[in-house]
Every structure is written in structure tokens, then in C-alpha cells.
A and B are shown apart, each in its own frame.
Chain A
Amino acid sequence: MTEINSNTPMEKLTIGGNIYQAGNAKEFKTGDWRSVRPVFHPDKCKQCGMCFAVCPENSIPVNKEYKREDFNFDYCKGCGVCAKVCPFGAITMEEEGVSK
């Protein structure tokens, strides 16, 4: 399927906006909906594995050593579930766009 963007003329768009391709949701970056962001504090993290299991957007990458890394902000909507389940205070929620 050819690339469709906001410059594509109507003649080149598929009818009804159909997408003839699987697995394309990852191209739709939903992270810009966020109004609060989770901040990861690696010093407090015990790698208990609670947070990434509850993330609805799969925005907490886990590496080959089964250790979590920093957030993927392309998809994180800032729901705060991870911060809520973290027993060690290793995730805090901060207002988006406010610099400290």
C-alpha cells in the first residue's frame, strides 16, 4: 500500500479510508494526547515487573535481560496506572510541558 498523508489528493485515497495492511496501529503515535507524564527513577526501581504488565499501551520496553527501560513516549498516554502499581515509588507523574 502506498503512503497516504495529509497532502495526498482525493483521487489517491482509498475508499472509505480503508487500510489494506495489517499491524499499522503502531504508525499512529498516540503519545501526544498525554497531559501528565510518568517519570522513571532507575535508582528506586527493583525490576519487580509490576509496571509493564499493567501498561495498556505497551509503552514500557523490556530488554533481553527482562529489565525494564525508560518509557516509550510515542505511545504513552500518561494514564498513570504504572505509577499507581509501583511499590517502590520508582515512577512519579508530572505535568506535561512544565519544565522544572
Chain B
Amino acid sequence: MSIRERLSGNEAAATAMKQINPDVVAAFPITPSTEIPQYFSTFVANGSVDTEFVAVESEHSAMSACIGAEAAGSRAMTATSANGLSLMWEMIYIASSLRLPIVLSLVNRAVSGPLNIHNDHSDAMGVRDAGWIMLFSENNQEAYDNLLMAHRIAEHKDVMLPLMVCQDGFITSHSIENIELEEDDKVKAFVGKYKPEHFLLNKQEPMAIGPLDLQAHLFEHKAQQADAMRKAKDVILEVSKDFEKTFGRKYGLFEEYKLDDAELAIVCMNSTAGTTKFVVDSLREKGIKAGLLKIRVFRPFPGEEIAKALSKVKAVAVLDKSDSLNGIGGALFTDVTSSMFTNNVQVPTVSYVYGIGGRDTTSKQIESVYSDLQEIVKSGKIENPYRYLGLRKEEK
């Protein structure tokens, strides 16, 4: 039986980590990190986990220690946020290229500067090409569930890639919500034991990890990573199916909310999807055919499936909580539109950059996006595809 609880997103992530009981957690437990390592170190002190907690001096060292632990043959986890992830950056690439299935709980916050600690997705977008599987979570429940599924996806023999579970800083990380927790022994059975095929502490098979990899080989090793990323899609679906069978909650690559017969669609990630669902419901009452496509799996990007899901709508708005500062919209917009183009889906699509630095995004603003889409459908014209939502500007 599931246990009804009320937890913050940080507590939910820390509880998942407690139930997973990894061999090693290496984390930098003060700013710019989250409360997750702090809660987790309490579990270690209380003896509720057998994890070796390595309190490192920086996030660069946190990821390095996870790499060492995972290479040795143990299960390693860490948690960070914003500039903490930036400091890990070099080792983020080492983790994925050495094919070490480390799991990271990322609480999405703005990468400074100027100095800001509030929610947006600029931290995650900075590592979107680093070869990590990236799952996004609308609420505390999804952050918890995604973490329970994380190791089985990452450690799968066809995958062997690190994985990060993202949730919105403060909006979900510090908000207390109802949540259904699963029993410890059931989680343990679901997650299973980590049995790596090759590991450094195996006396029977001495091995070298991360050797010199020059012109003759790096290209092929990168292509192997990309191949594993493509294969991860099926593994994610397979693990999600088993999760549904075991715990009853259903997950796919993305969630289609009232998208079946929708004419106007918003694509977004994390907590904004909750606000958008509320707006979709109220618009539906007024007879407006609004729908939502909420990304769960951002890496690998399910381009073909997304293009198909959006093929019947009349206009799409892609909401990015991070500006790529490139003059052509956010990263999610670029991925969605390029997938649509490649799959011959021709639907007018616009980019909205919103919620930067923790700027509140209200249901009214989401409503305005849907009315902009109505305007596009009516006129058949897009004046400016690169837009902002909730930005202050001089009236003209």
C-alpha cells in the first residue's frame, strides 16, 4: 500500500534517495546546493541508510567522487542546483563519456549572474548536450517517482549513461504537497541491486577506465554514447511500464493533456505544466480547444513522437524557462521545431521565453499565450516567432 504523506520536493527527493540507499553519496551540502544533501546526511547520521556520505569541498569534487565510486562498482548519487551544476560541468562530461550511470537530483535554478538563486532552467539547459539522460518533473510526486525509476534506466546494459532528475527550484522543491510514497521493501525490490559487468574493484578482471582516446577512437565513442541515448527511449518506456504495474502511476516520454482533439497546444516542462493544465481546464469550459504537451524526457529528445503528437493542432507555443540568448528562441523551442520540420509537420509554432530568475508565471499569462495562438490561427500570420512572457517593456 502506498503511504499518503505531505512533503516538499526536496524532502521527496531525499526520501527517494533514502529508499534507494545508494552505496555512495558525494555532495556539497551548502549553497548553491539544496536541502537534499542536508536531509540525506541526517539519514546517514541516524543510521537509516548504509551509504558512505562524502562531504566534499566543491561540486567539481562531488561529481569526481561519484565518478570514482561508480567506476569502482558502486551505486553513486548526488544532488545539486544552479551554479553547483556549473562547477560540476567538466566532470559531467567525464561521467557520461566513461558510461557511468550516476544519478543526480537537480533542483532547477538560475545560473547567475547577476546574482539570482530562483527558479529557471538555465542550469539544466547548460548541460543538455553533455550526454546525460534528463527527466523533468511537474511536482513532488514526479520528482520522487522519476528518482525511483532512475537507476534502472541508467544502469540498463543498453544504456549505461548518467541520469538527472529535474524539478523546479522553490516552486516544487520548497512547496509542501501531498505525495504517495511507496514502502521501503517494495522500492528496494523495484530498484534492484546494481551488478556492473565491469568495475575497477573486480580482482578477476583488472581494467583501465578513461584512457587516452585520440583521433582514431573518440568519434566512435561519442557515436556509441548517442546510440545509447537513442536506445534509452525504449528502456525508459519499459521501466515506466513496470513502474505503473508495480505502483500504479503511469509515465511516458511526455504527457498529453487534452491534446487529442486540441487546436491550440502549449509545450512546456516542470511545474508550469501544472499551471497550464489549470488554464486548459478553464478554457475547455469555455469551449476553446486547448491542450498541453508536457515534456518528461528531455534527453533523449523524443522528437518523432512529439512531432506526431503535435501534427493535428493548428498552432503551437513552446515555453522555455531559459533563454538561449541566441536570437532564435529557447532550447526546447529549437528541439521541438527541428523535430517537426524533420518529420514533415507544418504547424505554426512560436517561442516564449518566460519565468527567468524565478519570475512568477500566472494562469493569466498562460491564458494570454492561448489567445495569442487563437490570433495566429485566425490571421494565419506570425508577426514575431520569438516572444517573451511576463517581461516588462516600454509601451509603444
* B368 part of interface (Cβ distance < 8 Å): no
A16 to B209, Cβ gap below 8 A? yes
* B395 part of interface (Cβ distance < 8 Å): no
Which listed residue (A17, A20, A24, A28) contacts B217, Cβ 8 A?
A17
Q: A10–B218 Cα gap in the complex (Å)?
A: 10
* A19 part of interface (Cβ distance < 8 Å): yes
Contact with B along A11-54 (1 / 0, CB 8 A): 00101111111101000100000000000000000000000000
Min C-beta distance of A4 to chain B, whole Å: 8
Min C-beta distance of B15 to chain A, whole Å: 32
B211 to A21, Cβ gap below 8 A? no
Min C-beta distance of A66 to chain B, whole Å: 31
Q: A20–B210 Cα gap in the complex (Å)?
A: 12
Residue of A with least CB distance to B219: A10
B99 to A15, Cβ gap below 8 A? yes
* B160 part of interface (Cβ distance < 8 Å): yes
Which residues of chain B in 148-170 are interfacial with respect to chain A, using CB atoms and an 8 Å cutoff? 160
Which residues of chain B in 70-103 are interfacial with respect to chain A, using CB atoms and an 8 Å cutoff? 97-99
Which listed residue (B99, B160, B206, B211) contacts A22, Cβ 8 A?
B206
* A99 part of interface (Cβ distance < 8 Å): no
Majority secondary structure of chain B interface residues (helix, strand, loop or mixed): loop
Majority secondary structure of chain A interface residues (helix, strand, loop or mixed): loop
Q: A19–B207 Cα gap in the complex (Å)?
A: 5
* B223 part of interface (Cβ distance < 8 Å): yes
Q: A20–B206 Cα gap in the complex (Å)?
A: 6
A13 to B209, Cβ gap below 8 A? no
Which chain B residues lie closer than 8 Å to A22 at the CB level? Answer: 206-207
The verdict on A6 contacting B221 (CB below 8 Å), with A16-B97, A19-B211, A21-B206 known, is no
Which chain B residues lie closer than 8 Å to A16 at the CB level? Answer: 97-99, 209-210, 221
Which residues of chain B in 162-219 are interfacial with respect to chain A, using CB atoms and an 8 Å cutoff? 198, 205-213, 216-217
* B220 part of interface (Cβ distance < 8 Å): yes
Residue of B with least CB distance to A19: B208
Which chain A residues lie closer than 8 Å to B209 at the CB level? Answer: 16, 18
Which listed residue (A4, A10, A20, A24) contacts B198, Cβ 8 A?
A20
Which chain A residues lie closer than 8 Å to B217 at the CB level? Answer: 4, 6, 13, 17
* B344 part of interface (Cβ distance < 8 Å): no
A17 to B223, Cβ gap below 8 A? no
Q: A16–B221 Cα gap in the complex (Å)?
A: 6
Which chain B residues lie closer than 8 Å to A20 at the CB level? Answer: 198, 205, 207
Which listed residue (B198, B207, B211, B216) contacts A6, Cβ 8 A?
B216
Q: Lowest 3 CB-CB distances: which A-B pairs, in order?
A: A22-B206, A10-B220, A6-B216
